[in-house]
Structure 1
Amino acid sequence: MPHAAQAQDAQHFWSGDWYLKVGATGFLGAKYDGSSKRLLQAAPLISLGRAGSTVRFSSRNDNPAFAFVDTGAFRAGLSGKLILTRDGDTSDDLKGLDPVRFGGELGAFAEVYPTDWLRLRGELRHGIRSHDGLVGDLAADAFVDVSDTVRISGGPRVAAATSDYFDAYYGVDAGEAAASGLSQYKPSGGLQSVGLGTAITWQATEKIEASAFAEYKRLMGPAADSSLVKERGTRNQFLVGLSATYRFDFTLD
């Protein structure tokens, strides 16, 4: 009987308190990576993890994630990204190029807090339908609370990818060159971009959070060498915007 009671009381890996953050972001940024023209855009924000006493840092650059490991100072689990169609309707610059199809990326993330004011996060994802490459992101964010409800944060970002990713977004084969007027280009893998991001975050209520942000990145390697970027775009990419999220708290047995 004691053994049966212990088995019945044992918790599953999902048991405990959790949070789900959902929201949206609107921003003014490039029509596509490498474009010199800007467009007002919107995207969803989703984050799922275990609740804890420590307030965790989050960034608009974080893709939707599910943490299997969460110790407060370290989190790791699944991450994913939704990819929208990119074709000639996105920009006239892309007419004649093969479209990037609607799909996504699925992979893993890990983040660590070496101090109570710094977070390091990395993601590695594989393309699904949109491309067949691997994409990696690294970011470091320092943050400081200037009041009980306002936080300022910022830090560097680095992105890299394999040749299959670059071919989908920046490659121009012979047929595409003839149809688009761009020079033919076959990319390899490597560094995609380096940049900086900063944000001001306001904890409006216990559950509602809003932020204003600005980012700059410079395309590198295979992305910067693409004829699409050299002949019709720019290596320098700027973005400014606003976001808001609402946190749902719940418990699983």
Structure 2
Amino acid sequence: MRSSAILALSLSAALGAALPAAAQDRSFNFSLLGGIAAKPDYPGASDYSATPLAGFTFGSLTYGGRAMGAGIGAIPKNGFRFGGSFRVVGSRRISDNPQLAGLKEISTAYELGLGVTYQQTNWNVFGNIRQGFGGHHGVTGTIGSDLIFRPSDRLTISGGPRINLGDSEYASTYFGVSAAEAGASTFGQFNAGGGVLGAGVSVRATYNLNDRWSLEGLASYEKLMNDAKDSTITQAGSEDQWTVGIGLSRAFTLRF
């Protein structure tokens, strides 16, 4: 009896020691950003408003002894890496923009997709592709490059050029004006096609407050191009699109 009890206790202790070690081999590291931004009321607008700022950053995934990604706060490893891409396009409401009377209203759109980056210590190049849900069901993408500066262990500043693309579904949703809309509004009819819809530059600064929390600031400029620029909606608004924002991000590590 006593030997059985000792054996049971020994097995329980061994199992208890093994489980945490196994859990450490399976983890998902990421960060969530929340804050506030000032951006155009809608694509092609000249008026700006405050809007929530949200973001997701992939850090690393460890499973079965294999690891992908360096983790939030670490300097990324050189070479190719894959990750997710997420963007929110705000709603377009007549109640908020009376000058759009006669045009269709557009609900908030959520874009989800994938991206690939070629990373070096002080620069990178990347491309993203996303599928829209909600306000539009088109496909969008971004091609860009960043120079990366690390003035201190806590501060990282990155920035570079961006080219934004969208298919005809996306372009017609935000920049097209149908015959019926032209008859009910002050905007002339316009058939918007896809392609390169804008180009500009983006800058982001991240200051690590500690291992979990970071303060982030961003600023970007985009000049609308081609059908996005020529749209009668943009002609009545502005082809120059600015965004500035600030927020807090928190890193998480889930073990499973």
TM-score (norm 2): 0.79
Q: Does 1:120 align with 2:125?
A: yes
Contact 1:87 1:95 in 2 (8 A): no
Matches within 5 A, 1:45-194: 45-50=55-60, 53=70, 55-56=74-75, 73-113=79-119, 115-194=120-199
Contact 1:26 1:43 in 2 (8 A): yes
Q: Does 1:240 align with 2:244?
A: yes
User: Aligned-residue CA RMSD in angstroms?
Assistant: 2.4
Q: What is the CA distance between 1:251 and its match in structure 2?
A: 2.2
Equivalent-residue separation in structure 1 for 2:155 and 2:54 (angstroms): 22
Which of the residues 11, 32, 36 maps onto 2:46? 36
Equivalent-residue separation in structure 1 for 2:210 and 2:83 (angstroms): 28
Matching residue's letter, 2:210? T
Equivalent-residue separation in structure 1 for 2:196 and 2:190 (angstroms): 17
Which of the residues 227, 250, 253 maps onto 2:254? 250
- The number of aligned residues is 226
Work out the percentage of aligned pairs sharing the same amino acid.
26
Q: What is the CA distance between 1:88 and its match in structure 2?
A: 0.9
The answer to which of 21-30 and 79-88 deviates more is 79-88
Residue 105 and residue 23 in structure 1: after superposition, are their counterparts in 2 closer, same or farther (change >3 A)? closer
Which of the residues 208, 219, 242 maps onto 2:213? 208
Contact 2:58 2:84 in 1 (8 A): no
| SS of 2:135 mapped into structure 1 | coil
Structure 2 runs not aligned, ≥5 long: 1-24, 62-68
The answer to which of 47-56 and 95-104 deviates more is 47-56
More helix by share: 2
Indicate the structure (1 or 2) with the bigger Cα radius of gyration.
Answer: 2
Equivalent-residue separation in structure 2 for 1:171 and 1:138 (angstroms): 24
Equivalent-residue separation in structure 2 for 1:103 and 1:211 (angstroms): 24
Structure 1 runs not aligned, ≥5 long: 1-14, 58-70
TM-score (norm 1): 0.80
